[in-house]
A and B are shown apart, each in its own frame.
Chain A
């Protein structure tokens, strides 16, 4: 069975700081990888996804993530965060074929002005 681990449950940063949220997964085969964001009071939105090709994926709002197969990781990064980035961030993995989607427990990011 696949699993997803997000290392940081709560992260507090100041505006303009750089961000990196860790995500590791366990699955032996081909995977599809996702980062979703949930802003307060809203439902999930897709930030970015990786299916194949260039392991460095660029998403919306200046976010990017790098798939490192050897480390089973898909960390989310942003060079300079803004107060509006305060939200809950979820990493998700889906194995190839008919496997379901597995979410990490989420990282609550708070950006202080």
Chain B
């Protein structure tokens, strides 16, 4: 069965609204989770590293105030796209490392902002 649950799988929203995406580790506790984004015809890009109990680490060029990450517990990290605009339309996927060797992926979220 799935090790990582990501919800929702698809979301369509109006411009200016906020969208929350959840990533849950089902089988183990995770102090770190990764959030990625993929635009059409491009490869996956790391947005940020979510750290349980502390601030997320954002990659260069990713707006912290726009993409709010909260890692409130050892099994849940959320990514909130605030005041979404059409250019934020993308595929977002989380991954959860187990130790240094295994990495499990969520099923991804396709965000479409109208």
B43 pairs with A34, CB closer than 8 A: yes
Whether A101 touches B102, Cβ cut-off 8 Å, given contacts A43-B49, A44-B36, A44-B44, is: no
Chain B residues within an 8 Å CB radius of A88? 101-103
Whether a CB of chain A sits under 8 angstroms from the CB of B67 is no
Check B112 against A100 for contact (C-beta < 8 Å). Answer: no
Q: A100-B107, A101-B44 are contacts. A40–B100 as well, Cβ < 8 Å?
A: yes
How far in angstroms is the closest Cβ of chain B from A109?
11
In the assembled complex, how far is the CB of residue A60 from the closest CB belonging to chain B, in whole angstroms?
12
Which B residues touch A58, using CB under 8 A?
A: none
Interface residue total, chain B, C-beta cutoff 8 A: 23
Shortest CB distance B88–A (Å): 14
- B43 and A100: CB pair below 8 A? no
Among B6-20, those with CB < 8 Å from A are 9
Given known contacts A34-B43, A46-B43, is B38 in contact with A101 (CB within 8 Å)? yes
Tell me the residues in window 88-110 of chain A with beta carbons closer than 8 Å to chain B beta carbons.
Answer: 88, 90, 92, 94, 98-103, 106, 108
In whole angstroms, how far apart are the Cα atoms of A102 and B40 in the complex?
14
**Interface residues of A, Cβ cutoff 8 Å to B:** 32, 34, 36, 38, 40-41, 43-44, 46, 49, 51, 88, 90, 92, 94, 98-103, 106, 108
A43-B95, A44-B95, A101-B108 are known contacts; what are 14 more A-B pairs with Cβ within 8 Å?
Answer: A34-B44, A36-B44, A38-B103, A43-B46, A44-B44, A49-B43, A100-B93, A100-B107, A101-B44, A101-B93, A102-B108, A106-B102, A108-B101, A108-B102
